[in-house]
Structure 1
Amino acid sequence: MAVPKSSFGVFVLQMMVLALICLQAEGQGLIVGFYEKSCPHAEKIVSNVIKEVMAVAPSLSGPLLRLHFHDCFIRGCDGSILLDSTTKQSEKFAPPNLSLRGFNIIDRVKLALEKACPGVVSCADIVALVARDVTVATNGPHWEVETGRRDGKVSLFSDPVNPVTGLPPPSANITFLKQSFSLRGLNTKDLVVLSGGHTIGMSHCSSFESRLYNFTGKGDTDPAMDQNYIARLKLKCKPRDQTTLAELDPGSFKTFDDSYYRLVTKRRGLLESDAALLNDPETKAYLVQAISHGSTFFKDFGVSMVKMGRVGVLTGSQGEARKVCTKTN
């Protein structure tokens, strides 16, 4: 049913409040060392597999970190991003998730854990642990991951593309980004800190093509982006290029460091959502702090990842521990 324009603002507010109730969580039931008795070597098993993977495929670090974000922002951190669908109507097949990679690595970790502790460790916890371990493997910070999540049984194609509660697009402005994070119980600091995860990984040219070739529909470029950077990107990304990847943090995309923030302050953030961090006093101030001698970025990243990992979790008798991450039991 169409929503009258006069009621649209109220409708959006109602949707946001509903999403807030559904998604925010305090992480009840999550603890560090949840599998200490039921699967004492669980974290070591995950770590060993990721070390093996990073030794031969370090470019998967960014996608595997991003997988945790995409999971938690839709239905909470319940592993729903991993579910397959014979009709391709699960989250995995929605446009914002088509560029995700590393699902086979999650399956590999799950297989190792099933051999050691059948039916014990949830796929949602695997995603959270892998996100931490790929960060560490790329010289990033270590944090204690709370575990005890259960896996959800629902995954809908429509959720990631919902205009209010879906995944924030690469073109999102600062207002939308702050609202999106707030819906999940995450604040403005969490937004700018977690954006720092773009220090590793790559993005398809199609995610920022308009900034290079048709920003306002008049064949122009984005004035908020450094023109020399635009010229370099045009050499790599041609119009309507759907396959080429560009580094989010050129020259350092396999190393977790503060160089992402340095690029953003120089108007060389690749995505509009990166550049948007310059348009808010709090996020802009953090950009400056993150590249100073007194930077707290590494510590802050762990804190914000723990907060994100609590969003909308299923614990206790809720959900299940999938035996195979791509399908429910």
Structure 2
Amino acid sequence: MAAQDTKNLFLSALLLLSIAVFSCQAALDTHYYDQTCPQAEYIVAQTVRNASIYDSKSPARLLRMFFHDCFIRGCDASILLDSTPGNKAEKDGPPNISVRSFYVIDDAKTKLEKACPHTVSCADVIAMAARDVVTMTGGPYWSVLKGRKDGRVSKASDTTNLPPPFLNANQLIQTFAKRGLGIKDLVALSGAHTLGFSH
């Protein structure tokens, strides 16, 4: 199989996974903001594109942010919440210390608030941004299901549920199974690391 075919297969699997597995329980719709914020997709895409020109590592970081957010409490943007004196948030949990590019989501959200206040959820911004970085790096485009609600609970202790890098294949399969994810999902999400870089 050619390298491009392998890449497309991986990105297609990631696309299906993000649609099927990481959708909220509520009914989602690709046209959710068509009437209330028709420029939402464009604003997020432009913000992501500009950030990627400025920082070539932001595509991988945004894709990782989406996975780390969705794997804990579902795709609810709880990874964006800051810690408070009484609560250490997901953002500051050990597996998320190296998650970067929060500024991209903040920038997109600021622009969206100016264009259509109190309308687009941060959870949907992260989902659209993840789709946009996949597309920008040579993967397929898909219509993101939207209508996610932002979470209000974020606990660093929950990040221990993210699969650590030292797990063997059987342990990874079990960890993913607890989230309703199968072996194909594991392969697709593991393959997402090819978008980034290694130390």
Q: Which band: TM-score by shorter chain? A: 0.7 to 0.9
Name which structure has the greater RCO, CA cutoff 8 Å, separation 6+: 2
Q: Indicate the RMSD between aligned Cα atoms, in angstroms.
A: 1.7
SS at match of 1:202: coil
Q: Would you say 1:168 and 2:168 are equivalent positions? A: no
- In the alignment, which residue of structure 1 is the partner of 2:141? 142
Task: Name the CA shift for 1:37/1:25 in 2 (closer, same or farther; >3 Å).
Answer: closer
Label 1:28 to 1:103 Cα distance change in 2 as closer, same or farther (>3 A).
same
Write the distance in 2 (CA, Å) between the matches of 1:59 and 1:112: 22
Once the two structures are TM-superposed, the CA of residue 86 in structure 1 deviates from its matched residue by 2.8
Aligned with residue 40 of structure 1, among 38, 41, 44:
38
Q: For the structure 1 residues 24 and 183, does the alpha-carbon distance in structure 2 shift closer, same or farther, using more than 3 Å as the test?
A: farther
Q: Which residue of 1 aligns with 2:79?
A: 81
Q: What runs of 5+ residues in structure 1 fail to find an aligned partner?
A: 1-22, 204-245, 247-329
Superposition pairs of residues 1-329 of structure 1, within 5 angstroms: 27-87=25-85, 89-161=88-160, 166-203=161-198, 246=199
1:55 match: secondary structure = helix
Q: Is the partner of 1:31 in helix, strand or coil?
A: coil
**Corresponding residue SS for 1:193:** helix
1:31 and 1:146 in contact (8 A); partners too: yes
Aligned-partner residue type, residue 74 of structure 1: I
Q: TM-score, normalised by structure 2?
A: 0.84
CA distance in 2, matches of 1:113, 1:59: 23
Counterpart-to-counterpart distance in 2, 1:200 and 1:24: 20
SS where residue 152 of structure 1 aligns?
A: coil
Q: Percent identical across equivalent pairs?
A: 51
Structure 1 residue 26 displacement after superposition: 6.6
Give the match for residue 10 of structure 2: none
Residues of 2 paired with 1:54 and 1:134: CA distance?
8
What residue identity is the alignment partner of 2:187?
V
Contact 2:22/2:75 (<8 A) preserved: no
Structure 1 residue 104, shift from structure 2 partner: 0.8
* Partner-residue secondary structure (3-state), 1:67: helix
Q: Which segment drifts farther, 83-92 or 41-50?
A: 83-92
Which residue does the alignment assign to 2:13?
none
1:25·1:185 contact (CA, 8 Å) conserved in 2? Answer: no
| Counterpart amino acid of residue 135 in structure 2 | V
Describe the superposition over 1:31-84 as per-residue Cα deviations: whole angstroms up to 9, x where unpaired. Answer: 112111111110111011111111221211111100000000111111100000
Figure out how many residues of one structure are paired with residues of the other and give that number.
178
Give the TM-score of the pair, scaled to structure 1.
0.52
Deviation at 1:138, TM superposition (A): 1.5
Question: Which secondary structure state, in structure 2, belongs to the residue aligned with residue 112 of structure 1?
Answer: helix
Gap change, CA 1:191 and 1:84, over 3 Å in 2: same
Secondary structure of residue in 2 paired with 1:147: coil
| Amino acid corresponding to residue 120 of structure 1 in structure 2 | T
Check conservation: 1:79, 1:123, Cα contact below 8 A: yes
Deviation at 1:176, TM superposition (A): 1.8
For structure 2, the residue ranges without an aligned partner over 5 or more in a row are 1-20
